[in-house]
Structure 1
Amino acid sequence: MAMKEDSQYLAYELQSRDASPARGSGSANDTVDMARMGKQQELRRNFRFFSIVGFVTILQATWESTLLASSFGLYNGGTAGVIWCTIAVWLCIMAMISCMAEMASMAPTAGGQYHWVSEFSPPSVEKPLSYVVGWCCCLGWVSGIPACGQLLTGLVQGMALLLNPEANVGALWQTTLLIFLFLILTFAFNIFLAKYLPLAEGVVLVVHTIGFFAFLLTLWVLSDHAPAKQVFTQFEDGGGWGSIGLSTLVGLSTPLWCFIGPDAGAHMSEELKDASLQLPRAMMWATLFNGIMGITMLITFCFCVSNVDEVLNSATGVPILDVVYKVTDSYAATCVLGTLLVILTFFSTVTVIAASSRQCWAFARDRGFPFSSWISQIQHGIPINALYVCFGVSAVLAAINFGSDVALNAIVSVSNAALIFSYIVSIGCVGLKRLRGEALLPRRFDLGRLGLPLNIVTMLFLLISFVFSFFPVAPSVGDPTWAADFNWAIVMFGAVIMLAMGYYLGGGKHKYVPPVRLVKND
């Protein structure tokens, strides 16, 4: 009976999508790609190459993240550890993004990884595997939203403490309410000003570049610099792991956070003109320039760190604010540069929300969620209901901070882990097809003979990153207070996997329509 209902639904879905007229202003290639995938054009294609480069660049916000999220890497690895790890991660991310850009050229869809898994994985595991990856993609993106809100809140609180060290602004309830405020503002932008998003990305890309040079020149010209030997060779084992190598690997969270989310452009592909060509180019150029700027800024920042412990125990809780104030000796200059970081991080959060909503909308379009019919509705050219769902889940996750900031820190870790898992499975499927000598889809961005080596290198890097995403800041074996330092991301990740499979086995498998079943091969 279930199979009969499934077949009837699929037939209706194919008929309705074939009958629906295309919308937007896409190219002829966009029309061909959407028709092959059996997808209806429902979103406006108002992004172009420059604006999608801006979108990916601002979302990654690499040089900003090196300043705001450097503490974990400095604690586990020191200046040398965080610099060399970031360089290595960037090179591996370039390999990874090239693999994803090739998949995006073959199938430019908002579904991203779960769609690619459905098309490229072995038929025997295609449906459940793509389903789990779909849930992981949504988990990774949505859990990243309150993490961005936490960075914004920390910046504002840090500037308040800089101006008034006695200010009472650090209570959990105050932090959580500030996160709620930023969630409301960034979601409001995505709902009411969505048509201006491409323009905003282009403008903010210019501000992103100007801000980079503003910080860089300030730190270069005004700061006293630590010796180069100390910066590039001094490793730290702040967590007490007993091994410099292990401690440095635990500190991978800093460079991973600086580069995570390169698939963001793929989730906007149905809003980009000539996506199968422009999207891969944009993903590659954005990650290349972000990496150059981010590593340059990180090395500059580390030259300003003469004492790692002093930076980690900064009075404001935001090391870069203390460093800027120390070198400028000016509250006004520090607050101006801090406000610039707030603006850039605000728009980074806006782009994270946009990518998250498109990912959830695409998965609901293929009936991957409960209440998918409602979530997948489009109003005024945007997935408004998917935005509401993302806001609701983000608010619930942020509310955890009322009781414990340890739990919210785990949410940051689970965002990394969930996205990395989706990258592992999707790239692994393409690598397996290459190993088997099976033909891949036509694409306008082709890795050629480098395809398999890049797939293998990327998989090794991602497997290591996935494992260390679940490590705590410090070991706590035998410590009666272990729960306070434990990284609960592994528990949250496992719970979501179990929830996804429970819903799938409980009836979701009869509703979920894997993307490959809508693909037209003729």
Structure 2
Amino acid sequence: MSNEKQPERRRSSVAAATSDGLASEDDAAVLAKLGYKQELRRNFTMIEVFGIAFSIMGLLPSIASTLSYSLPAGPVGLVWGWFVASGFIFIVGLAMADLGSAMPTSGGLYWWTHFFASPKTRNALSFLVGYSNTLGLVGGLCSIDYGFSLMFLSVIVIARDGNWTPSNGVVYAVFLCCVLLHGVLASSLSKVMGKLQTVFSIANFVLIAATIIALPIGRASERNDGKYIFATTGNLTTWPTGWAWFLAWLSPIWTIGAFDSCVHMSEEAANATKAVPYGILMSIGSCWLFGFIICIVIAACINPDIESLLGSKFGQPMAQIYYDAIGKKGALALMSLLFIVQFLMGLSILVAASRQSWAFSRDGALPFSSFFRPISKSLGYIPFRTIWGCVFLALVLGLLCLIAPAAAAALFSLAVAGNNLAWGIPIFCRLVWGEAKFKPGPFYTGRMSKPLGWTAIVFLTFGILLSMMPVGGPNPTPQSMNYTVVINCAVWGGSLLYYFIDARKWFTGPKITLDVDELTETQEAALRAEGLDIEGLAPTNESDTENPAELSKDPNRKV
């Protein structure tokens, strides 16, 4: 393109993102620095970015779904396990907030990995992180909707006074209907999805308020004392008591495991460099505080015979806790509200999972990427095909429900182990290989960034180890075995095998999707400052960058 024609074409070709109302100039320019054009509509505010993470976490339903991990360690496991593990999760959030503020893109985790890793490892690690994160999010959808199925059916069991037990087939049928309905809603409510996150968050707080008020009132004459709540240990496993307490960490680890959804929604967030990090930290911090309060209330109001709670005829310890405190009608009311909030969790995580899957297909890494890649403009600029791809994959993974409870339980840990690996690798790559390339965004932890990063890596590695341990003890039966190690090793091993056998021939990392004819002057200036070499874009002067020669050598920075 000649220098004479270029300004004229710039004036006549207004940026697609701004002309279609998809994003502001600044947000489109930030994304352009990462090599991508704006294709999704930025209709999520900072509060709504927080809302999608907080609604996916679904604090009370998640605590209810994971009481089988925390209650075996007694009140100390429930209360202090939550507090300590949540503190470490907040540190992970700080490390991720640094990256999310600096480089906000929907495929952030694998993009960061590719950017920071060494030249020899970047493609393989980026490929591994992308698949681990994608399948971890879909595993999260499965576990949330499986939990919904159990809660929904527990209401029927309560209504029948415990005289009915749903079969695995019935559980899967409810699961199937739930996932399909989520697909329909995620496809049809795109224009108001951001606003709905605020509604979902309010629903969560209503449920929390109702529970922490109703339980103490209902158990007014039978509440446990402070010593029982804060200083009574227990161990219903055959592990040592200390290790049983660590296993109680699985409850907060699984519950507060959706903060990366803020990253996946970053290309739909206004002022993403601030919305993403604050969304991460606000969602984790809220769960840390309110979860601690909920755990204290539960410990104060539960029947001290914890074994009877875990073996409740209602199939859910939380249903029994409600029943003991406020009777049949109260339990029916709160369990109904509980499964409604759980349903909303599933809808939100499907939205986040579809954005990660779409970003991965944009870079050509998923099978049938060319099919999943297009955006549906008529439905509100959403990745319609990846929404239904995630739905189909969830239905297949959900078939584990038909095998046995132990196999279904692996869905919980699939989300934990898969996402922990996906969160840890980009942080590790930044600290080991990419610190010199890291340019902080508006949010930055400063001198604490490195120690926080290493602490996060240690905790995430420990979390993967925990998620693969048999919960009941060191000598599991086929029925009590934790099959997470099998499922996740298949995911990770399969991803790497796929890469080294075939994908290494064509996967070269994130692709640049910018079109020079659609760039505004603001975007072009941002690209020149970043040192990106785009065909058709006037070259930058050497003084425009810190080291243009070095920037141009980076294979991730050229088309």
Aligned pairs (5 A) from 1:18-57: 21-22=16-17, 23-57=20-54
CA distance in 2, matches of 1:487, 1:498: 18
Question: Residue 27 of structure 2 aligns to which amino acid in structure 1?
Answer: D
C-alpha separation in 1, matches of 2:497 and 2:275? 39
Give the 3-state SS of the residue equivalent to 1:299 in structure 2: helix
Q: Give the CA deviation at 1:166.
A: 5.1
Deviates more, 1:213-222 or 1:396-405: 396-405
Alignment counterpart, residue 70 of structure 1, candidates 52, 67, 71: 67
Q: State the distance in 2 between where 1:117 and 1:150 align.
A: 31
Q: Against the structure 1 CA distance between its residues 515 and 221, is the aligned structure 2 distance closer, same or farther, given a 3 Å change threshold?
A: same
1:503 aligns with 2:498: yes
- Distance, in Å, in 2 between the alignment partners of 1:433 and 1:56 is 30
Q: Is the 8 A contact 1:219 1:324 kept in 2?
A: yes
Structure 2 Cα separation of the partners of residues 68 and 299 of structure 1: 17
Q: Could you tell me how far 1:476 is from its partner in structure 2?
A: 5.1
* Cα separation, 2, equivalents of 1:442 and 1:458: 18
Determine if the alignment matches structure 1 residue 201 to structure 2 residue 197.
yes
- What whole-Å deviation, never above 9, does each CA across 1:479-503 have from its counterpart, x for those lacking one? 7xx2222111111111112221222
1:452 aligns with 2:447: no
Which residue in 2 is equivalent to 1:13?
Answer: none
1:414 partnered with 2:409: no
1:441 correspondence with 2:439? yes
User: C-alpha separation between the residues in 1 aligned to 2:497 and 2:119?
Assistant: 21
Partner of 1:328: 326
Would you say the 8 A contact 1:356–1:390 is kept in 2?
yes
Q: CA deviation at 1:180?
A: 0.6
1:296 to 2:323 alignment: no
Q: How does 1:354-365 map to 2 (within 5 A)?
A: 354-365=351-362
1:237 is displaced (CA, Å) by 2.0
Asked if 1 retains the 8 angstrom alpha-carbon contact of 2:91 and 2:456, the reply is yes
1:367/1:513 contact within 8 Å kept: no
What does residue 490 of structure 1 align with? 485
Deviates more, 1:495-504 or 1:346-355: 495-504
Provide the rounded CA distance (Å) in 2 between the counterparts of 1:439 and 1:391.
37
Deviation at 1:355, TM superposition (A): 0.7
Q: Is the 8 A contact 2:101 2:443 kept in 1?
A: yes
Deviation, structure 1 residue 514? 0.9
Count of equivalent residues: 497
Secondary structure of the 2:276 match is helix
Aligned counterparts of 1:517 and 1:203: Cα–Cα separation in 2:
36
CA contact (8 A) 2:28 2:37 kept: no
Cα distance between partner residues in 2 of 1:496 and 1:281 = 31
The runs of 5 or more residues in structure 2 that have no matched partner are 1-12, 515-526, 532-559
User: CA shift at 1:467, angstroms?
Assistant: 0.8
Kindly tell me: are residues 476 and 292 of structure 1, through their superposed partners in 2, closer, same or farther at Cα, counting changes over 3 Å? closer
Moved more, 108-117 or 77-86: 77-86
- 1:144 maps onto 2:145 in alignment: no
8 Å Cα contact 1:46/1:273 also seen in 2: yes
2:320 counterpart letter in structure 1:
D
1:48-127 map, 5 Å:
48-75=45-72, 77-127=73-123
- What does residue range 234-313 of structure 1 map to in structure 2 within 5 Å? 234-241=232-239, 243-305=240-302, 306-313=304-311
The match for 1:473 is 471
CA RMSD, aligned part only? 1.9
Length-normalised TM-score, structure 2: 0.85
Distance change in 2, residues 1:40/1:209 (3 Å): same
Q: Is the 8 A contact 2:104 2:273 kept in 1?
A: yes
- Maintained 8 Å contact 1:72/1:473: yes
Q: SS in structure 1 opposite 2:471?
A: coil
The structural deviation recorded for 1:475 is 2.9
* Secondary structure of 1:483 counterpart: coil
1:417, 1:469 within 8 Å by CA — same for their partners in 2?
yes
Q: Report if aligned partners of 1:250, 1:468 keep a CA contact under 8 Å in 2.
A: yes
- Residue 96 of structure 1: CA displacement? 0.8
User: How far apart are the structure 2 equivalents of 1:450 and 1:24?
Assistant: 39
Distance 1:54 1:424 in 2: 24
User: For residue 315 of structure 1, what is the amino acid of its counterpart?
Assistant: K
Supply the distance in 2 between the matched residues of 1:169 and 1:146 (Cα, whole angstroms). 21
Shift of residue 142, structure 1, vs aligned partner? 0.6
The one-character-per-residue Cα deviations of 1:213-265 (angstroms, maximum 9, x if unpaired) are 11111112221211221222222221211x11112222322121121121011
Aligned to 1:128: 124
Q: Which residue of 2 aligns with 1:9?
A: none
> What is the alpha-carbon distance in structure 2 between the residues aligned to residue 73 and residue 320 of structure 1?
12
Query: Which residue is 2:554 aligned to?
Result: none
Does the 8 A contact of 1:160 with 1:167 survive in 2? no
Which 5+ residue runs of structure 1 have no aligned equivalent?
1-17
What is the one-letter code of the residue matched to 1:219?
Answer: L
| Contact map agreement 1:61 1:345 (CA 8 A) in 2 | yes
**1:385 equivalent in structure 2:** 385
1:64–1:294: 8 Å Cα contact kept in structure 2? no
Q: Is the 8 A contact 1:118 1:516 kept in 2?
A: no
Report the Cα distance in structure 1 between the residues aligned to 2:54 and 2:406, rounded to whole angstroms: 29
Once the two structures are superposed, what CA deviation does each residue of 1:287-324 show, in whole Å capped at 9, x if it has no partner?
Answer: 11121111100110011122211211112011222222
CA 1:20/1:407 → structure 2, altered by over 3 Å: closer, same or farther? Answer: farther
Shift of 1:33: 1.4
Cα distance in 2 for partners of 1:68, 1:409 equals: 11
User: C-alpha distance in 2, partners of 1:218/1:91?
Assistant: 28
One-letter code aligned to 2:430: V
Q: Which residue of 1 aligns with 2:550?
A: none
Aligned partners of 1:472 and 1:487 also within 8 Å: yes
Q: Deviation per CA, 1:82-103: give whole Å up to 9, x if none.
A: 2111111111111111111110
**Quick one: which amino acid aligns to residue 165 of structure 1?**
D
CA deviations 1:52-106 (Å, max 9, x no partner) are: 121111111223322332122112x211122111111111111111111110111
More displaced 10-residue stretch of structure 1: 398-407 or 178-187? 398-407
Given the superposition, is the C-alpha separation of residues 433 and 27 from structure 1 closer, same or farther in structure 2, using an over 3 Å criterion? farther
Partner-residue secondary structure (3-state), 1:515: coil
Q: Does the CA contact (< 8 Å) of 1:410 and 1:488 recur in 2?
A: yes
Query: Residue deviations 1:12-65, cap 9 Å, x none?
Result: xxxxxx998325442333122111111121111111112112111111122332
Q: What is the rounded CA distance, in whole Å, between the counterparts of 1:376 and 1:518 in structure 2?
A: 12
